[in-house]
């Protein structure tokens, strides 16, 4: 068993995700506890530009070849299963994203190693990884000691500082040939999202609506509040899934990450996936009739009254 901590670097079209730098920061902290090294794992073809950004890692393991030129989960799993077998890292960290969860789950089965998901914190105790994970939509935190020589962990965005995972420098680089492609799944093309009428990532004021609104026709009251504030309307995933607002308005892990000066969450319970996308807002106001809703864990101010009473009253006060 190695004492090293590995972190998967997630990148698309040459852009490294912010959560990848957060993983490097967490890996550095864990490596300090084990006495091992921080290893950034980069898969792809022509990834020297990605590797050059990994100055905060002690080493970079590049897995390169045509089969990993684009993300294909089964091929990533094949490559990383070999890494786990050969290197036996103490912990391998993944972003708790679509890519990270696809790979970590498959790798856990293929390599026969345990996986802890939705982690917000990881520490080492007596040579074992102790993981704090969110369960029941973020309403509870569960702590578990992961048995085995290697622990796989998917980490929720925002659980570490991205700035601490970024540094100048040239880490040692090791290159491995990628395995042959798994032909059960193949990359066809990357579909870019359609241009949006509003870029919610640039708005200073957002009023976000969730499933608590009940009906798409009632989103009008949220739009009126946003207009009175000089802001824009955003939403959680259930609103997009229902077809009430376009994908370009969605905040969260499978949507957009926003950092407005003011974020008002209307009828949003606060699932971990949504919190990932808005927890960095300067000021968060939550309106939800359920006092136990996870959204209140990140809110600066909270209102537990009926949104259909509160939102029109706020709009009326602003307009007057």
How distant, in Å, are the alpha carbons of 129, 166, 174, 220, 271 from that of 280?
27, 19, 35, 26, 15
Q: How far apart are the first and last CA of the chain?
A: 67
> What value does the mean pLDDT of the chain take?
92
Residue with tokens 């950004």: 53
State pTM to two decimals: 0.73
Task: Compute the distance between CA of residue 106 and CA of residue 112 in angstroms, rounded to an integer.
Answer: 10
For residue 65, what is the DSSP state?
S
**Residue 195 reports pLDDT greater than 90:** no
Q: Could you check whether 5-177 and 200-319 share the same CATH topology?
A: yes
pLDDT tens readout for residues 281-318:
999 999 999 999 999 999 999 999 999 999 999 999 99
**Residue 139 reports pLDDT greater than 80:** no
Domain boundaries, the chain: 5-177, 200-319
CATH domain 5-177 topology: Rossmann fold (3.40.50)
Tell me: domain 200-319, CATH 3.40.50.1220, correct? yes
Nearest to 99, CA basis, from 29, 31, 41, 172: 41
Strand pairing class (115-125; 11-12): unpaired
pLDDT tens readout for residues 264-276:
999 999 988 899 8
């Amino acid at each position: 068993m190695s004492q090293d901590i590995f972190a998967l670097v997630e990148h698309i079209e040459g852009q490294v995700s912010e959560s990848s730098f957060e993983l490097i920061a967490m890996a550095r902290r864990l490596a300090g506890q084990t006495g091992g090294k921080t290893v950034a794992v980069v898969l792809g073809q022509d990834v020297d530009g990605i590797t050059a950004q990994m100055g905060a890692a002690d080493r970079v393991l590049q897995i390169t070849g045509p089969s990993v030129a684009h993300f294909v989960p089964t091929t990533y799993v094949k490559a990383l299963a070999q890494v786990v077998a050969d290197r036996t890292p103490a912990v391998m960290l993944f972003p708790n994203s679509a890519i990270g969860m696809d790979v970590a789950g498959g790798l856990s089965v293929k390599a026969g190693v345990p996986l802890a998901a939705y982690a917000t914190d990881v520490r080492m105790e007596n040579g074992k990884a102790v993981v704090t994970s969110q369960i029941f939509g973020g309403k509870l935190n569960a702590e578990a000691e992961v048995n085995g020589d290697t622990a796989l962990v998917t980490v929720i965005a925002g659980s570490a500082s991205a700035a601490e995972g970024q540094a100048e420098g040239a880490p040692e680089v090791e290159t491995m040939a990628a395995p042959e492609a798994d032909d059960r799944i193949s990359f066809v093309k990357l579909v870019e999202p359609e241009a949006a009428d509003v870029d919610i990532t640039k708005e200073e004021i957002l009023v976000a609506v969730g499933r608590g609104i009940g009906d798409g026709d009632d989103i009008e009251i949220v739009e009126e509040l946003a207009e009175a504030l000089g802001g824009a309307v955003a939403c959680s995933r259930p609103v997009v899934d229902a077809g009430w607002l376009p994908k370009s308005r969605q905040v969260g892990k499978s949507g957009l990450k926003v950092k407005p000066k003011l974020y008002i969450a209307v009828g949003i319970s606060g699932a971990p996936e949504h919190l990932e996308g808005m927890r960095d807002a300067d000021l968060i106001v939550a309106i939800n009739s359920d006092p136990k809703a996870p959204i209140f864990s990140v809110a600066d101010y909270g209102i537990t009254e009926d949104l259909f009473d509160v939102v029109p009253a706020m709009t009326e006060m602003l307009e007057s």
